[in-house]
Structures are given as structure tokens and as C-alpha cells.
Amino acid sequence: MSLETMRFSGILRNANGGISLTVSSRDAADSPNRYTVEFQDQFNQYQQDSLSLVDVNDAQLFGQDVVVSLAALGLPNLDQAVRATALQLYKSVDGNTYVNFDTSVKAVGLAPGDLITITYSKEGFNRQPFRITEISPSLNYRTATITAQIHNDEWYAAADAGVAGLGRQPNFDVGVPRPLMGSVLDSNGNPQFGITASTIVSSDGSVSVQLTVAFSVPAKPTVASVGIPLVGLDPQISTTGGTIARRPDALLRV
């Protein structure tokens, strides 16, 4: 759906005739330029690993790193960790542009998470995609105030895919991995996460959507856990080769 200032604009004007659209950005403290996350890599023998991504240009411009831990659970490997962390980094730094405007009943049917396009020559927007983050309707929904964040599809594909770790690292003792399992079974009997969506209406009339993911709680780790083996436990036996000659009269002693 498009709310744009072309032939038929979906943006209302103020009482003085000016456009109601305002463009803003969060301050540096609320827009992290470095995200960190810890996970157990399924392709690296479930070793505890960590990832830290930083936007170098923003860090140099701001003069320091604003570090935040990524709020993500169940990351299975390094590739997924890179994708999830890079997406949040792009949205925090490159997506630090928000618009706020009033619209008419055209907002009926829109919900937080929907994409709209805005054309506003003063800011250089030409059908620029924005993702709605909040909708605050007025009395009887005659008008509504929309807050949206700038959007770019490239953020979801720009993260490097197919990355791999440095291989197995020594001196790690994390115990048995604790993967997150789904709480419901699908038609094929495979566990799936139970995802439910609920709409929350605030006292000011704004509407937000909350997603809840249900999963089976993994077992708590024991105090003395068993670490991953340093060598393979399956022996390889060869009856030929070697450099030590066999003595015919040698006795096997136990």
C-alpha cells in the first residue's frame, strides 16, 4: 500500500496548511553500532562461540562503540548468527530514519509490520519503502498517526551466507549442548515452535503486535558436565603396515 504525496496523497495537512509529516532519528545512545551474540555452533561440535559485528564507519564517526547484546535464542550455527546480527546492525545504523505523520481512514487495514511507500521531495524520498512500527488512531478512527521506520530489502540479503568458523578450537568445556525444541508437533510428527500473535492496544489508542514463541525448556546443565572429546572414540585397526616388526614368539601380556 502506498501513502505518498503524488496525485492522491495519504498524508494529512495541519490546521495551518503545512504537511503533518516529520522526519527524525534516534540519538547515538539508542542506535547501537556493535552487536554481540553467543551461540553453540552445530557445525563445530557444539562449541560455545561468540560473534561481534560493528559498523566501522559509524564507530569512527561517533568516536566510540555502542555495544548491545543481540536478543536472540536458539542460533544454531555461525551462518545464522551472522545473518541475524547483521540484520539488526543494518536496521540500527542504516535504518535510523523514522517518519511520523497523520493520515485519514486510509490507515484502516494497516498494521504494525506492514510496508508503505512515501514520496516527499524535501527529504529526497521517491516511493521510499517504510515499515510501520506504530499506529495511533484518533476517536472513531477518523484519523490516525503512523510511525514508520525506513526499510531496505537488501538488509535481508546483504549478510554473507555460507560462512564457516575457524575449525575446532582446543580448551573448551561447555558440556552437552542444550538445543531449543518445539513444543508442538506438525502433521508429520516433527516438533515445531508454537507461534501466536496478539494485538495490544495502549491507553493512548496505539496498537502493537506481540509475537510469542513457545518451546520446550532444555534440561539444566549438571555441575560436573562432560566436555567434548579431544580425539575420536572409535578406534581404527590395521593389521598391515607399521615400522615395528612382529616377533613370532611374542606373548601378549595383560
> Is the pLDDT reported for residue 174 higher than 70?
no
- Inform me whether the pLDDT recorded for 8 exceeds 80: no
More confident residue, 93 or 46: 93
Residue 239 has pLDDT above 70, yes or no: yes
- Cα separation values, 138 from 5, 135, 163, Å: 22, 10, 49
Say what the pLDDT of residue 235 is: 64
Q: Assess contact for 175 and 221: CB atoms under 8 A.
A: yes
Q: How far apart are CA 228 and CA 195, in angstroms?
A: 33
Q: What is the mean pLDDT of residues 219-229?
A: 58
Kindly report the average pLDDT of the chain as a whole number.
Answer: 79
- For residue 228, pLDDT over 80 is answered with no
* Helices and strands (DSSP H and E) totals, the chain: 2, 13
* Lookup: cell for 76: 544454531
Average pLDDT rounded to a whole number, residues 6-22: 77
DSSP-derived letter for residue 222 is P
What average pLDDT does this structure show over 133-144? 87
The H-or-E segment that residue 181 falls in is strand 181-182
Among 124-138, 154-168, 191-205, name the one with the lowest average pLDDT. 154-168
Tell me what pLDDT residue 150 has. 95
Return the DSSP state at 12. Answer: -
Tell me the β-bridge partners of 210: 198
Domain coordinates in residue numbering, the chain: 22-156, 181-216
- What percent of the chain has pLDDT above 70? 76
Contacts of 72 (CB under 8 A, 6+ apart): 37, 81, 84, 85
CB atoms under 10 Å from CB of 230, counted, come to 8
Q: Which residue has the higher pLDDT, 165 or 180?
A: 180
Could you tell me which residue, 233 or 65, shows the higher pLDDT?
A: 65
**Best CA proximity match to 231, nearest among 39, 45, 43:** 45
**Cα(156)–Cα(115) distance, integer angstroms:** 15
Dist. CA 169–CA 180, nearest whole Å: 24
Out of 14-28, 93-107, 122-136, least confident range: 14-28
What is the model's pLDDT at position 176?
A: 54
What average pLDDT does range 203-211 have in this prediction? 81
